[in-house]
């Protein structure tokens, strides 16, 4: 068999085929909870330096595969490389999260370039090629980008905020400028995903981490519509491209997202009720999720109980086991091992 014909369980689920043992990976699986990641991280100045150093980025992409045998590897990069490639200043200061120059004035939006500088992102596509050479044939390789709305929230505020109020306010008070910012991000994100797919990822995920702070009409306008256009642009260039959508915290807007956005699978955050997930979401599309990162952090019987409930509800259909958001940096390795054993029945 060639590498292309080897069975990749996670890729199969994206085609709607249930696997007897659900494939499993963790959002943010390459990260600070891993001592081997910390060791590499200490050798570079910042997360962005790590993203733009292909040998090291490939190494940290592969670390969780080697240690845990996950069914997917996720490219080591960040959603904020897009503002960086649009010429905005992006910094990750230790312990503070990202710092960008705030983009909260229509004149600043008007001065954005129409396209990303692909030369800036070239090292990331290089990382994809390096990972591809080393990845076991049954592991699905995932690329990603942020949802246009989520990337816009960081660009407008210049940082993480508890409810992304600066971007919500800018969207209400300067809708034309905000709309232009979203348009630029849709095109930039599409180009970024298309290049990742061309370089060799098997599928991509759109992380709309801040979808849940939007009022219902705004959700339609700034999450659903831009994601529809992003998906359509990617599929125009790469017909049949496999895409996972993750509108975190969408709540009662989730069903509209599922009905209107043509992604291949839906990432469920940890608040989504399991019977609803099975009856209303999984009936329409394969699902991924939705263990509470704090249940994994806690371990013990609470972790087992949470896993069992998820498996009972969702493993009867096309399903990818994952967290409902990224793994927390203080999660013990032993809890990840406990989880894998429970999910895989070993
Ligand atoms: O295994 C992986 O998933 C690694 C690749 C990856 C990173 N960021 C590397 C990273 C992915 C998929 C992301 C996505 C990302 N980045 C999101 C969407 C998913 C989510 O968690 O909500 C968001 C909102 C960002 C923006 C971002 N990057 C923030 C807010 C921060 C600081 C807070 C934090 O989580 O640490 C980052 C930094 C960052 N990006 C780190 C990593 C491993 C940690 C910093 C470090 O190693 O020093």
Q: What distance in Å separates the CA atoms of residue 131 and residue 57, rounded to the nearest whole number?
A: 9
Q: Residue 77: is its pLDDT beyond 80? A: yes
Q: Is the CB of 80 under 6 A from ligand 1?
A: yes
Q: What is the mean pLDDT of residues 172-194?
A: 98
Percentage of the chain modeled with pLDDT above 90 = 95
- DSSP H or E run through 295: helix 293-298
What pLDDT score does 94 carry? 76
Is ligand 1 within 6 A of the CB of residue 329? no
271 neighbors 302 (Cβ within 8 angstroms) = no
On the question of pLDDT at 217 being above 60, the answer is yes
SS3 of 155-214 = HHHCCCCCCCHHHHHHHHHCHHHHHHHHHHHHHHHHHHHHHHHHHCCCEEEEEECCHHHC
Rounded to an integer, the average pLDDT of 174-196 is 98
Q: What per-residue confidence (pLDDT) applies to 180?
A: 98
Distance CA 346, CA 336 (A): 14
Q: Does the pLDDT at position 2 exceed 80?
A: no
Q: Is the CB of 84 under 6 A from ligand 1?
A: no
Q: Is the CB of 160 under 6 A from ligand 1?
A: yes
**Euclidean distance between CA atoms 116 and 102, whole angstroms:** 18
- The mean pLDDT of 111-133, rounded to a whole number, is 96
Residue 211 binned pLDDT confidence (cut-offs 50, 70, 90): very high
Angle at 161 between CA 294 and CA 80, to 5 degrees: 90
Q: How far apart are CA 281 and CA 42, in angstroms?
A: 42
Dihedral over Cα of 139, 260, 144, 275: its sign:
negative
| Ligand 1 atom nearest 31 alpha carbon | 43
Strand pairing class (97-100; 90-93): antiparallel
Average pLDDT score, the chain: 96
Output the pLDDT for position 1: 47
The encoded tokens of residue 42 equal 């200490």
CA-CA distance, 59 to 53, in Å (whole number)?
10
Give catalytic status of residue 285 as yes or no.
Answer: no
Q: Is 32 among the residues known to form the active site?
A: yes
pLDDT at 114: 86
- Whether 222 lines ligand 1, by a CB cut-off of 6 Å, is no
The reply to whether ligand 1 has any atom less than 6 angstroms from the CB of 184 is: no
What residues form DSSP beta bridges with 91? 99
CA–centroid distance, 343 to ligand 1, in Å, is: 25
- Active-site residue identified among 11, 41, 168, 248: 41
Q: Are 142 and 202 in contact (CB under 8 A)?
A: yes
Q: Which tokens hold the place of 300?
A: 């013990």
Q: Select from 243, 239, 147, 237 the least CA-distant residue to 201.
A: 243
Enumerate the H helices of 76-174 as residue ranges. Answer: 81-85, 106-110, 118-134, 148-157, 165-173
Per residue in 79-94, is it b (16+ CB within 10 Å) or e — as a string? bbbbbbbbebebbbee
More confident: 278 or 114:
278
Span of 33-47, 87-101, 153-167, 282-296 with lowest mean pLDDT:
87-101
| Separation of CA 273 and ligand 1 centre (Å) | 26
Mean pLDDT of 124-132: 98
Q: Which of 30, 31, 128, when mutated, tests ligand 1's pocket best, judged by the most ligand atoms within 8 Å of its CB?
A: 31
Q: What percent of the chain has pLDDT over 70?
A: 98
Active site residue 125: no
Q: Is the confidence at residue 346, as pLDDT, over 90?
A: no
As a whole number of angstroms, the distance between CA 322 and CA 9 comes to: 14
Catalytic residue among 28, 180, 235, 342: 28
Which whole number is the average pLDDT over 325-332?
Answer: 98
The pLDDT, as a whole number, for residue 95 is 74
Backbone angles phi, psi at 247, to 5 degrees: -90, 85
């Amino acid at each position: 068999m060639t590498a292309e014909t080897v069975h990749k369980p996670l890729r199969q689920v994206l085609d709607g085929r249930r696997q007897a043992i659900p494939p499993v990976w963790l959002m943010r699986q390459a990260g600070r909870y891993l001592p081997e990641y910390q060791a590499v991280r200490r050798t570079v100045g910042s997360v962005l330096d790590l993203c733009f150093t292909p040998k090291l980025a490939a190494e940290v992409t592969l670390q969780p595969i080697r240690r845990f045998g996950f069914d997917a590897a996720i490219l080591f990069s960040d959603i904020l490389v897009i503002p960086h490639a649009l010429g905005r200043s992006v910094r990750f200061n230790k312990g503070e999260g990202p710092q960008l120059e705030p983009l909260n004035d229509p004149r600043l939006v008007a001065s954005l370039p129409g396209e990303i500088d692909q030369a800036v992102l070239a090292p990331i596509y290089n990382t994809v090629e390096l990972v591809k050479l080393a990845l076991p044939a049954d592991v699905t390789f995932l690329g990603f980008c942020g949802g246009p709305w989520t990337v816009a929230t960081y660009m407008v505020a210049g940082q993480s905020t508890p409810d992304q109020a600066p971007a919500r306010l800018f969207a209400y008070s300067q809708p034309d400028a905000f709309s232009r910012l979203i348009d630029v991000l849709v095109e930039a994100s599409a180009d970024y995903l298309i290049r990742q797919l061309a370089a060799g990822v098997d599928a991509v995920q759109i992380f709309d981490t801040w979808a849940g702070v939007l009022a219902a009409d705004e959700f339609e306008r700034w999450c659903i519509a831009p994601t529809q256009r992003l998906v359509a642009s990617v599929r125009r260039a790469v017909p049949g491209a496999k895409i996972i959508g993750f509108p975190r915290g969408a709540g009662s807007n989730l069903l509209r997202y599922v009905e209107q956005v043509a992604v291949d699978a839906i990432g469920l955050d940890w608040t989504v009720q399991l019977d609803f997930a099975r009856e209303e979401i999984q009936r329409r599309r394969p699902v991924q999720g939705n263990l509470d990162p704090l249940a994994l952090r806690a371990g013990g019987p609470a972790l087992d109980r949470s896993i069992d409930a998820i498996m009972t509800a969702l493993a009867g259909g096309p399903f990818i086991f994952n967290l409902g958001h990224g793994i927390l940096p203080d999660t013990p390795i032993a809890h990840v091992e406990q989880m894998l054993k429970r999910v895989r029945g070993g």
